[in-house]
Amino acid sequence: MKKLFLAVLIVLAAQGAEARDYTAGEIAVLAPAARAMLPGAKVGGGYLTIKNSGGEADVLVSISSDRAKSVQLHEMSVNGGIMVMREARQGLELPPGETVELKPGGYHLMFMDVDKPFKEGEQIRATLTFQKAGRVDVEFAVGSAFGPIGAAKAEQGDMTGMDMSQMVMGGDAQQTIPARLKAMFETPEKPLTVNPVVVQGDWAIAGWLQDGRGGRALLKSSPHGWSVYLCSGDGITEANALEKVGISAADASALSSALKAAEAKLDAKTLQLFSSFEGTVLMEQSSGNADHGGHEGHAQ
């Protein structure tokens, strides 16, 4: 099958990174982009746009990359006012004549168990396999860790009460972290309970309950205050998992031990709600803009 590669220069928020467009038959893969990852992190996000110019539907069946053990397609959606995320194991359907965006807050790719963190300015090779169009080799342009993704500016959903630009400054982490989470996610109709909060160095884990659902949030401290790095369930309770997101072995071990000690005082129902959050949601942030990510997802 003839492949026509169209080079289109798209200035990313990252310095010097270029995104290209690729075509295979009636399928066009536009501006694949990824975020730079924190040192030691093992999971990275990928974003792109797919246009089906043909008269028949196609399906994005799988993705692979030599930089990751696996690449998964994830879907985020709103269910009863709650943002949920799950792996789309059935693939991504591409209706004829339509364009589908993979972006923060919707469908997106997750590079799992990355060999070494993506660095701003580099290109990540990957192969997309379509049911009809076949294999398409692409490169993801790596932008900054927090700016807009490629040409697609932040347009991640409009969840009431969520403003990623809010930062809670200074003070006791036992107070500022719950305040941070409440400022982001709480609404009058759906109060948020935050407990416990454990802190080790620049990292913290907080358990949360809201509207019969629950989970855990991993937060990172910066000169600007505490910000949410990711939301998960049992995925961030063990030290080895915390090391994969870039936490030192010593801090990961201490944080995991502190969390287990704090949660040992909680009832079984609360722990079950914490565990009900499936998978991991990487929170997206931007500098100066409200870049909305997902929370509360995966809870069954």
Mean pLDDT of the chain: 79
User: Contacts from 244-251 at CB under 8 Å and sequence distance 24+?
Assistant: 244/40, 244/41, 244/42, 244/43, 244/113, 245/38, 245/40, 245/41, 245/42, 245/43, 245/218, 246/37, 246/38, 246/39, 246/40, 246/41, 246/117, 247/40, 247/203, 248/40, 248/201, 251/200, 251/201, 251/203
Q: Alpha-carbon distance 23 to 101, whole Å? A: 16
To the nearest 5 percent, what fractions of the chain are helix, strand and coil?
Answer: 15, 40, 45
Q: Within this chain, do residues 79 and 192 fall inside the same structural domain, yes or no? A: no
**pLDDT, tens only, 184-227:** 888 888 899 999 999 999 999 999 999 999 999 999 998 878 88
Q: Is the pLDDT of residue 46 over 80?
A: yes
In a domain, 257, yes or no: yes
So what's the pLDDT on residue 299? 41
Q: Within this chain, do residues 273 and 213 fall inside the same structural domain, yes or no? A: yes
Q: Within this chain, do residues 73 and 185 fall inside the same structural domain, yes or no? A: no
Q: Within this chain, do residues 20 and 138 fall inside the same structural domain, yes or no? A: yes
Q: Within this chain, do residues 11 and 83 fall inside the same structural domain, yes or no? A: yes
In a domain, 148, yes or no: no
Structurally, the chain folds into a number of domains equal to: 2
Q: Is the pLDDT of residue 170 over 80?
A: no
State what percent of residues in the chain have pLDDT above 90: 50
Q: Lowest-pLDDT range, 14-28, 148-162, 191-205, 218-232? A: 148-162
Q: Lowest-pLDDT range, 15-19, 60-64, 104-108, 160-164? A: 160-164
In a domain, 98, yes or no: yes
Q: Within this chain, do residues 137 and 7 fall inside the same structural domain, yes or no? A: yes
Whether 4 and 23 have beta carbons less than 8 Å apart is answered as yes
Per-residue pLDDT band for 18 (boundaries 50, 70, 90) equals low
In a domain, 164, yes or no: no
Averaged pLDDT for residues 84-98: 89
In a domain, 153, yes or no: no
In a domain, 100, yes or no: yes
Averaged pLDDT for residues 48-65: 97
CATH classification of the domain holding 36 = 2.60.40.1890
Q: Within this chain, do residues 7 and 78 fall inside the same structural domain, yes or no? A: yes
In a domain, 300, yes or no: no
So what's the pLDDT on residue 244? 80
Most confident of 48-62, 71-85, 238-252: 48-62
In a domain, 118, yes or no: yes
Q: Within this chain, do residues 112 and 229 fall inside the same structural domain, yes or no? A: no
Q: Is the pLDDT of residue 7 over 80?
A: no
Per-residue pLDDT band for 124 (boundaries 50, 70, 90) equals very high
Q: Within this chain, do residues 138 and 217 fall inside the same structural domain, yes or no? A: no
Residue 29 belongs to domain spanning? 3-143
Q: Is the pLDDT of residue 65 over 70?
A: yes
**Tokens representing 199?**
């802190």
**pLDDT, tens only, 288-297:** 333 333 333 4
Per-residue pLDDT band for 147 (boundaries 50, 70, 90) equals low
Q: Lowest-pLDDT range, 10-14, 42-46, 77-81, 215-219? A: 10-14
Most confident of 14-23, 193-202, 238-247: 193-202
Most confident of 59-63, 103-107, 243-247: 59-63
Q: Within this chain, do residues 76 and 26 fall inside the same structural domain, yes or no? A: yes
Q: Is the pLDDT of residue 63 over 90?
A: yes
**pLDDT, tens only, 277-288:** 876 777 654 333
Between 137 and 243, the more confident residue is 137
State what percent of residues in the chain have pLDDT above 70: 74
pTM for the model: 0.56
